[in-house]
Amino acid sequence: MRKQIFYNLIQFVRRLIKNVYLILAMNKKFRIGFITIISIVLICILVILMIPYDPSTVGRFKPNQPPSLSHILGTDSMGRDVFAQLCLGTLHSFIVALIVATFGTIVGAFLGFISGYYGGILDNYLIRIVIDTFVTIPMLPVLILIASLIRAPNIWVLAGSLCIFSWAWPARQVRSQTISLKRRDFIYLAKLSGMNSMEIIVKEIMPHMVQWMVANYVNAVLWTFLTEAGVELLGLGPPTTITLGMIIYWAISYVAMLRGLWWWLFPPIIMFIVIFISLYLMHLGLEEFLNPAKRLSK
């Protein structure tokens, strides 16, 4: 049995890779979004590797310098190179997004599946209420609460708090998809062909899970990006770590706009928008790709 599960996990990953390959080839929107994001990430990594110093160190350079040859995007009011911060901040934001999205998708998918598949008391009273509660809890007040309780919020606290909320939506999605799948005749026929419950879950339902999880993952990343930035803009973010949201926060705190320091405020905003649009394109592409209509063209 253990060998079965292992084998099926391998199949799962292989199917995942094959799907990603397929959608890249077939769907323009996804392709554009994906390539943009990958390019951005690669450039940022390259830049950070080339810089010999820590971009977050205050006072390294002359502050408030407009873009020049030595500082492509100038410097901010704390004497930091804006371009270096942009690259590091983007990477940090991405890391947080990936961690939170991974956690949320896996935990959410697991809980959603259990709730949907086994139903009964477990589903109705335990999990469903929990899921719905988390979906409806207003996130911001809770995050503010957490931020105020912890003296020195750092990036991991931020990631952790976001994780608390990240699993609820995927859980709901996967739950409703499991329920509709359970009703399909082929699940019942699997039982009539001699398969037991565990085998049915692994062989008949898991392949569908791949699709659900991929769709949910991109959404989760998008959500995390937005929420993280929102939290940071409100001043609840980690003051010593650089993320996209924090750059914007500092720029606003130092009234960059009125002081004419456009090179501090606009680049992170533009970067944010570009990332957002790319992720959204990926999301749209995925929706198109996963639509049953795609089967027609096969």
Partner 1 sequence: MTHIPLLKVENVTKIYESGLIFKKKVLALEDISFDIEGSRAEILGIIGESGSGKSTLAKIILRTIKPTRGYIFYKGKDISKLEGNELKEFYKEVNAIFQDPYSSANPLRKIDDILLTPIRKFNIAKTKEEEEEIINKALDMVNLRYDEVIGKYPHELSGGQLQRVMLARLFIIKPRLVIADEPVSMIDASLRANILNIIHKYKEYERISFIYITHDLSTAKYVCDRMIVLYRGSIVEEGPADEILRKPLHPYTQLLMESVPLPDPTKRWSKPIALAKLEETVTLSAGCKFYDRCPYKTDRCKKEKPLLRDVGGRRVACHLYGA
Partner 2 sequence: MTTLHEELLKVKDLVAGYELPGAFIRAFDQVSFEVKRGEVFGIVGESGCGKSTLAKSILRLLEPPGRIIAGSALFEDIDLIKAPIEIVNKYRWKKISYIPQTSMASLNPVMKIKDQFMELIKKENKEISKDKAIEIINEQLASVGLPTRVADSYPHELSGGMKQRVIIAMATLFKPSLIIADEPTTALDVVVQRGILQLLLHLKQKYGTSILYISHDIAAVAQISDRVAVMYAGKIVEIGDVYDILKKPLHPYTEALLNSVPSLIENKELRGLQGAPPDLKNPPSGCRFHPRCELKISGFCDKIEPSLTKIGNRYVACHLYR
Q: Which residues bind partner 2 (CB under 8 A)?
A: 26, 296-297
Least CB distance to partner 2 at residue 30 (A): 14
Compare residues 21 and 53 and give the one whose CB is closer to partner 2: 21
Are 78 and 84 in contact, with CB atoms under 8 Å apart? no
Residue 26 touches which member of partner 1, partner 2, none, C-beta under 5-8 Å by kind: partner 2
Q: Which CB sits closer to partner 1, 78 or 206? A: 206
The CA-atom distances, in angstroms, between 118 and each of 34, 86, 168, 198, 245 are 36, 47, 18, 12, 41
Task: Tell me whether residue 192 or residue 296 sits nearer to partner 2 (CB atom).
Answer: 296
Residue 138: name its binding partner from partner 1, partner 2, none (Cβ under 5 to 8 Å by kind). Answer: none
Cα–Cα distance for residue pair 285/24, rounded to 1 Å:
9
Q: Which does 2 bind (CB under 5 to 8 A by kind): partner 1, partner 2, none?
A: none
Query: 81 has which bridge partners?
Result: 75
Cβ at position 283, least distance to partner 2 in Å: 20
Contact (CB, 8 A) for 104 and 172: no
Binding site for partner 1 (CB under 8 A): 184-186, 188-195, 203-204, 207-208, 295, 298
Q: CB of residue 181 vs partner 1: minimum separation in angstroms?
A: 9
Tokens of 292: 């049953």
Residues 6+ apart with CB under 8 A from 285: 23, 27, 28, 29, 30, 31, 33
Residue 207, binding choice from partner 1, partner 2, none, Cβ under 5 to 8 Å by partner class: partner 1
